[in-house]
Amino acid sequence: MTYVGKILVIVIMAFSLIFLGISTVVFQTSRNWRTAAEEQKTKVSQLTAKLNDAQAEVQAKQKDLENEKGKYEALAKDLSGKIQSQDAQIASVEQQIGQARNDVQKAQMNANTALVEAESRRKETFDLREKKAAVEKQANDFKLKQAELNDRIRELERFLETATKNNTDLRERVAKFSALLRQNGLSDDISQIKGKESPPPVTGEVVQVDPSNRRVVISIGSNDGLLEGHELYLMRTTPRPEYLGKITIINVDVNQSVGRVNGTTYQGKKIKEGDIVSSTIKPRI
């Protein structure tokens, strides 16, 4: 029950007592008016005092009610401020969550883009490797062709040089030198004299073979001490060791060389990539 309800109950009780007193006075008037009147006055005074006390209590209760109302309003205002602060914090947190969600989405998009770019780079690298292999094969083919052309050029140069110097005086001198060599038991065949110096101890592999099985690109060159005219043995180690023939170096690069097969390979065998060339491994036929 609220304070106002209690006050109303007290007021109703007071008025009830007053009406009770009045009715009692009326009832007793016929017997003893004066005495009854005095008694009723006394009762009225008592009731008035009680009513005043009740009114004072009502006023006190009203003051208490006002105080409690003020406290309630202050508390409600404080709670409203806290609620607004909490709402602001919640809004800020929701904004941060939304920003974080957007950042995560952007990061996922960036990651997907990076994966797509990485896959594209991988494919591009694979294509470049294939193109590089094709270019290297073309370069090796070009080296073989270049070696063949150089060989033909040297042959033509030798022919031109021979034709230019082929005069009577040279023939006579050559004849004299040939006769002198034969008299001393030496061969006068220039092809058996030129380029017969021994190559250094080297071992390499066949990198590429031309379709005619006559020229090969090998994995050793001038850095290994090879010179044009050096002869190397051609071997195969797998599935079993076997001798293939000999090659003469006709073109030398830093790390690679081109060799020409001397005559034909042993028993007409086909040279393969990975076969061994060496100046130290001699055949056992």
Residue 114, pLDDT score: 84
pTM of the predicted model, to two decimals? 0.36
Collect all residues with Cβ–Cβ distance below 8 Å to 60 and sequence separation of at least 6.
none
Question: pLDDT tens-digit profile of 68-97?
Answer: 888 878 888 888 888 888 888 888 888 888
Report the DSSP pairing between strands 242-252 and 231-236.
Answer: antiparallel
- What gap in Å lies between CA 257 and CA 249, rounded to an integer? 7
Residues forming beta bridges with residue 277, ordered by sequence position: 204, 234
CA dist., res. 211 & res. 141, Å (int): 10
Among the ranges given (59-63, 156-160, 226-230), the one the predictor scored with the smallest mean pLDDT: 156-160
At 223-268, the pLDDT tens digits run: 999 999 999 999 998 888 899 999 999 999 999 999 999 999 988 9
Of the pLDDT bands very low, low, confident and very high (cuts 50, 70, 90), residue 143 is: confident
The pLDDT value recorded for residue 185 is: 54
Is 38 part of a structural domain of the chain? Answer: yes
Confirm whether 181 is domain-assigned: no
Query: Does the pLDDT at position 155 exceed 70?
Result: yes
pLDDT in tens, 206-218: 999 999 999 999 9
Domains: count for the chain:
2
| Whether residue 104 has pLDDT greater than 70 | yes
Q: What pLDDT, on the 0 to 100 scale, is given for residue 249?
A: 95
What pLDDT sits at residue 144? 83
147 is a domain residue: no
User: For 109-120, what is each residue's pLDDT tens digit?
Assistant: 888 888 888 888
Per the domain annotation, does 219 fall within a domain?
A: yes
Domain identity same for 116 and 26: yes
Instruction: Return the pLDDT at 195.
Output: 43
Cα 252 to chain centroid, rounded: 44
- Non-local (6+) Cβ contacts of 237 within 8 A are 276
**Do 95 and 30 share a structural domain?**
yes
Range of the domain at 242: 197-278
In the predicted model, is pLDDT for residue 156 greater than 90? no
Do 1 and 85 fall within a single domain?
yes
SS (H, E, C) the chain: CCHHHHHHHHHHHHHHHHHHHHHHHHHHHCCCHHHHHHHHHHHHHHHHHHHHHHHHHHHHHHHHHHHHHHHHHHHHHHHHHHHHHHHHHHHHHHHHHHHHHHHHHHHHHHHHHHHHHHHHHHHHHHHHHHHHHHHHHHHHHHHHHHHHHHHHHHHHHHHHHHHHHCCHHHHHHHHHHHHHHHHCCCCCCHHHCCCCCCCCCCEEEEEEECCCCCEEEECCCHHHCCCCCCEEEEEECCCCCEEEEEEEEEEECCCCEEEEECCCCHHHCCCCCCCEEECCCCCCC
Distance between alpha carbon 39 and the CA centroid of its chain, in Å?
Answer: 109
186 within some domain: no
Q: Average pLDDT in the 135-152 region?
A: 82
Domain closes at, from 141, 156, 185: 141
- Of 123, 141, 159, at which residue does a domain stop? 141
